Amino acid sequence: MNSDLVSVLSTVQDPRSDKNKRYLLEEILLLCVCAAISGADGWKSIAEFGRTKLNWLRKFLEFKNGTPSDDCIGWVMARLSPTALQECFITWTKSIADLTKGDVIAIDGKTLRGSHDRSNGR
């Protein structure tokens, strides 16, 4: 199984016609996944994440036209099959679980926000 997120995202069928593709579907999906993992909670915050992290995102895909607007992201996401997205995400997370051999990485919101108790290691 492939643990490369970009490869897994490339399996999602693009509902747009060829003439209306300023951004690759993989670019939009990668942006959405990374932004959501980073705490983005809507199209505007996803678009803002893309603008501020463009150089980092370009380590994975070209983003030749920069990043899409919040309207573009919402329009594209509304036309995708929820089932296809779910299957794609399940495939990716299963491959990560296989890669880590069942080890769990806990993401604790309190630690992320800096309320971690350093003196007690919690």
| pLDDT tens profile 67-79 | 999 999 999 999 9
pTM of the model: 0.80
Residue 99: the pLDDT is: 79
pLDDT greater than 80 at residue 106: no
Average pLDDT over residues 32-49: 96
What number is the average pLDDT over the span 46-54? 98
Rounded-to-integer distance, Cα 26 and Cα 61, Å: 8
Rounded to an integer, the average pLDDT of 45-74 is: 97
Mean per-residue pLDDT of the chain = 87
pLDDT, mean of residues 33-49: 96
Angle of the 25-37 helix axis to the 82-99 helix axis, nearest 10: 60
pLDDT of residue 6: 93
pLDDT tens string 75-103: 999 999 999 999 999 998 888 887 777 67
Taking alpha carbons only, the member of 94, 62, 73, 65 closest to residue 29 is 73
Residue pair 108/117 in contact (Cβ under 8 Å)? The answer is no
